[in-house]
C-alpha cells in the first residue's frame, strides 16, 4: 500500500466534507487541514492493479447539503509498471475499434531494450507510440504503424537513449475495425558501458539477469560527434556553426534544456541553415529534449551550416539566462570494425551479477573530423535474439595521461 496527498483549493463551503471513491483500490480517502490549507490523503492498494497497467478513479467530496452538488472532484491515476528489467509477452488481445492497449515498464540506465508490437491479421493495422518517463515521446523514430509478422512495429532503443524510469508503450486499434494485438518487451541482459583509454575502446558488460549469459561482443566506428553548451538570455536567438562533412550520409542533432528552463517557453525553434540561408533541417522542440534527423544523400561537398536556436518565451519580459545542450552526430555510409585480441569479435560467458571487460584496439578515424568533433563509436552484444547496442563518443585522452 502506498500513500499519496493531493493539495486542493480553499474550501468554498463550511462544515464537514464526506468523501467517496469510484474504485476499491483507492482505499480510505480522507481530508486533512483547515479551510485555507486543505489536502486529500489516500492509500493505493497496489496489489489490486495488475503489473504493467494503470487504473483511474474519481474522488468526490460532498458537503452536508448535497443539493448544491459536489464540492470537488479529483481524478487519480495509479500506475503499477513492470519491475526494472522485467520482460513481458502480452496477447494476442482483442481490441474494439479505436480501442487502446498500454504497457507500463521500467528501464535502467545503459540497458537497451526492445518493444515489438504486431497485429493478428494481414488487413489489421494499429498505431503505436513509445513514451519516455514523464510522458514525452521517445526521442528516436516514433509513431510506427503495426501489422502482422514482418510488418510489426519494432522499437529498438540504444543504450545511449535509455532514460531511467517508467516508460509506456501504446497500441491503438483502427477507428473503424476491431483487431488483435501482441506486445513483446525484452530488455538486454547486460548493462553496456564503454570508454576509451589511449589505445583501446573498453566495453564493460554487467550481467543484470538471473542466468548465465553467452554473448559475442563487437565494436566499430560510425562517424563523428560534437557537443556544445549554448548559453542564452531571455528570448534572444543563439547560433552555432559547424561543417557537415562530405562523407556524412546521415545527421542527428539533439537539443536539450533543463525542465526548469523548459517551463519558461511556449515553443523553441531549431533550424539548420546553409550559407545561403536555405533550410537543411528544422523542427520545433515540443518537450525539453528534441531530435532532428536528416538524410544527407550520397554525393555532397563539405557544407558549412548554422544551427539557429529560437526560444519563444511565455513571458516576454523574462530576461533570465538559460542553457541548452547541443549534440550533433554524423554517420558514414558504413561502419569500420575495431579489432579485439580475438579478431573482429570476442566471446563472453558471464554468470549472473558478474562484470566483464573486453578491449578493442582503437584506430584513427577513417573520416576527417571537423573542429570540435571526436570519433563516434558503437559497442554491441549478440545474444539469442536482438543485438544490443550502445553508441558512445570516443574523445582522445589529453597528452598528459
pTM confidence score: 0.86
Q: Are the C-beta atoms of 140 and 122 separated by less than 8 Å?
A: no
Residue 95 Cα distances to 53, 229, 364, angstroms: 16, 46, 53
Q: Which of 140, 126, 131 is nearest to 104 (CA)?
A: 131
The strand ranges marked E within 63-211 are 72-80, 88-95, 100-107, 113-119, 126-131, 145-146, 153-157, 165-173, 179-187, 190-196, 200-207
pLDDT tens, the chain, 401 aa long: 454 555 655 555 555 677 788 887 776 666 555 545 566 676 666 667 889 998 888 888 887 888 888 877 888 888 889 999 999 999 899 999 999 999 999 999 999 999 999 999 888 899 999 999 989 999 988 999 999 999 999 999 999 999 999 999 999 999 998 999 999 999 999 999 999 988 999 999 999 999 999 999 999 999 999 999 999 999 999 999 999 999 999 999 999 999 888 989 988 999 999 988 999 999 888 899 999 999 998 878 999 999 999 999 999 899 999 999 999 999 999 999 999 888 888 999 999 999 999 999 999 999 999 889 999 999 999 988 889 999 999 998 765 54
Radius of gyration of the chain (CA): 26
Secondary structure class of 160 (helix, strand, coil):
helix
Contacts of 249 (CB under 8 A, 6+ apart): 295, 296, 297, 298, 331, 332, 333
- Per the listing, cell 466534507 goes with 17
Rounded Cα gap, residues 365 and 245, in angstroms? 13
Amino acid at each position: 500500500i502506498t500513500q499519496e496527498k493531493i493539495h486542493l483549493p480553499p474550501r468554498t463551503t463550511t462544515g464537514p466534507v464526506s468523501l467517496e471513491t469510484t474504485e476499491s483500490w483507492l482505499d480510505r480517502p480522507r481530508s486533512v487541514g483547515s479551510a485555507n490549507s486543505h489536502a486529500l490523503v489516500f492509500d493505493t492498494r497496489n496489489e489490486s492493479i495488475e503489473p504493467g497497467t494503470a487504473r483511474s478513479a474519481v474522488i468526490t467530496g460532498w458537503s452536508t447539503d448535497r443539493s448544491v452538488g459536489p464540492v470537488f472532484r479529483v481524478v487519480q491515476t495509479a500506475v503499477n509498471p513492470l519491475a526494472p528489467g522485467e520482460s513481458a509477452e502480452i496477447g494476442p488481445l482483442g481490441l474494439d475499434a479505436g480501442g487502446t492497449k498500454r504497457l507500463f515498464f521500467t528501464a535502467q540506465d545503459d540497458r537497451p531494450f526492445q518493444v515489438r508490437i504486431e497485429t493478428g491479421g494481414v488487413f489489421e493495422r494499429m498505431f503505436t507510440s513509445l513514451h519516455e518517463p514523464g510522458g514525452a515521446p521517445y526521442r528516436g523514430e516514433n509513431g510506427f504503424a503495426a501489422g502482422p509478422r514482418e510488418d510489426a512495429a519494432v522499437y529498438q532503443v540504444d543504450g545511449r537513449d535509455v532514460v531511467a524510469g517508467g516508460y509506456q508503450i501504446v497500441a491503438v486499434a483502427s477507428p473503424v475495425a476491431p483487431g488483435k494485438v501482441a506486445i513483446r518487451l525484452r530488455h538486454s541482459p547486460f548493462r553496456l558501458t564503454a570508454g576509451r583509454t589511449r589505445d583501446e575502446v573498453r566495453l564493460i558488460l554487467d550481467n543484470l539477469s538471473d542466468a548465465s549469459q553467452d554473448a559475442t561482443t563487437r565494436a566499430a566506428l560510425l562517424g563523428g560527434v560534437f557537443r556544445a553548451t549554448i548559453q542564452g538570455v531571455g528570448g534572444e536567438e543563439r547560433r552555432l556553426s559547424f561543417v557537415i562533412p562530405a562523407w556524412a550520409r546521415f545527421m542527428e542533432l539533439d537539443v536539450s534544456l533543463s525542465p526548469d528552463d523548459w517551463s519558461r517557453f511556449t515553443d523553441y525553434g531549431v533550424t539548420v541553415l546553409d550559407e545561403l540561408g536555405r533550410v537543411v533541417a528544422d523542427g520545433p522542440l515540443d518537450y525539453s529534449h528534441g531530435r532532428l534527423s536528416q538524410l544527407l544523400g550520397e554525393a555532397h561537398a563539405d557544407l558549412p551550416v548554422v544551427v539557429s536556436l529560437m526560444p519563444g518565451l511565455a513571458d516576454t519580459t523574462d530576461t533570465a539566462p538559460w542553457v541548452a545542450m547541443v549534440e550533433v552526430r554524423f554517420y558514414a555510409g558504413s561502419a569500420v570494425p575495431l579489432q579485439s585480441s580475438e579478431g573482429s569479435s570476442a566471446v563472453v560467458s558471464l554468470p549472473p551479477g558478474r562484470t566483464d571487460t573486453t578491449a578493442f584496439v582503437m584506430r584513427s578515424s577513417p573520416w576527417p573530423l571537423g573542429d570540435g568533433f571526436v570519433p563516434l563509436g558503437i559497442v554491441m552484444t549478440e545474444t539469442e535474439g536482438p543485438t544490443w547496442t550502445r553508441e558512445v563518443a570516443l574523445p582522445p585522452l589529453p597528452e598528459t595521461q
